A = this chain, B = another copy of it.
Amino acid sequence: MSETPNLPLPAANRTVFFVSDGTGITAEAFGHSVLTQFELRFKQVRLPFIDTLDKAHDATRKINEAFQVDGKLPIVFSTLVKTDLSKVIQQAKAMHMDLIQTFVEPLENELGVKSSHTIGRSHNSANSEEYKNRIEAINYSLAHDDGQSNKNLADADVILVGVSRSGKTPTSLYLAMQYGIKAANYPLIPEDFERNKLPSGLIPHKQKIFGLTIAPERLSEIRNERRPGSKYAALVNCRYEINEAEAMMRREGIRWMSSTTKSIEEIAATILQDIKPEATIF
């Protein structure tokens, strides 16, 4: 990663549209991963819920307007399941990247089955089993945040441990929200290090524990934003806590990873590989 993160990129003077018959989250996530390959800034417009011909014509008009203003072809990332909607959008003067249309036809040939071209059959849809599990997991992770409750720890898919501000809470919520994983989290605090033992509520569930650690310098930075100049945030204290936490995890045979340079997506995906390497069949 040889990037220079805070240097402003030159503006491309070009508009990017994310067009979808649903939330547009996939079109946007995909568009971002492609666009970040270019050292340019783009103006970006989300057009979600384009699920009627009228809305498609409206979207087409907006894309054409951007072409008029920029004098350059807009870039359109779209996930449109219905061919008639996709055809309307394709009329816009733009560079089109239609994710669904590009890949669905070859898949139909390979699978020997026609696709349903139905909007909203996503497994995010609010009445699916998978969706209910995700909501239940979010509630579970919230109720078991920061060692709030030892109750029902037997139901946890994973229990994250680590010192305060090592990234446990956002990772737990992300695991629940994205993957439906019931993730409890439990802080390791100075009292645990003095007793030289894991919190007693965790001992029966040791197999499910996953540890997070973090570089003391980074931890001190994060804690200083919360409580500037405190003992809690002091580098010497962060070093002590991290040393003790890592020693404890090593001694107890707990799997762990460092969150220092990782995003919550990366931490969550790594933990998931460890606890549940295969996705579920659907």
Closest residue of chain B to A102 (Cβ to Cβ) is B102
Chain B neighbourhood of A2, CB < 8 A:
118
Interface membership of chain A positions 265-282, coded 1 if the CB is closer than 8 angstroms to chain B and 0 otherwise: 110111011000111111
| A116 close to chain B: CB less than 8 A | yes
Closest residue of chain B to A273 (Cβ to Cβ) is B48
| A117 close to chain B: CB less than 8 A | yes
A38 and B107 contact, Cβ closer than 8 Å, known pairs A18-B279, A33-B26: yes
| A122 close to chain B: CB less than 8 A | yes
A5 and B127 contact, Cβ closer than 8 Å, known pairs A23-B268, A118-B37, A269-B23: yes
Q: Are A30 and B33 in contact (CB under 8 A)?
A: no
Q: Are B279 and A46 in contact (CB under 8 A)?
A: yes
User: Which of A92-100, A182-190, A232-240, A245-253 binds B?
Assistant: A92-100
Q: Are A44 and B177 in contact (CB under 8 A)?
A: no
| A203 close to chain B: CB less than 8 A | no
Q: A residues engaging B (CB < 8 A)?
A: 1-3, 5-6, 9, 11-12, 14, 18, 22-26, 28-30, 32-46, 48-49, 73, 75, 79, 81, 95, 97, 99-100, 102-104, 106-107, 110-111, 113, 115-129, 131, 135, 138, 142, 145, 169-170, 173-174, 177-178, 261-266, 268-270, 272-273, 277-282
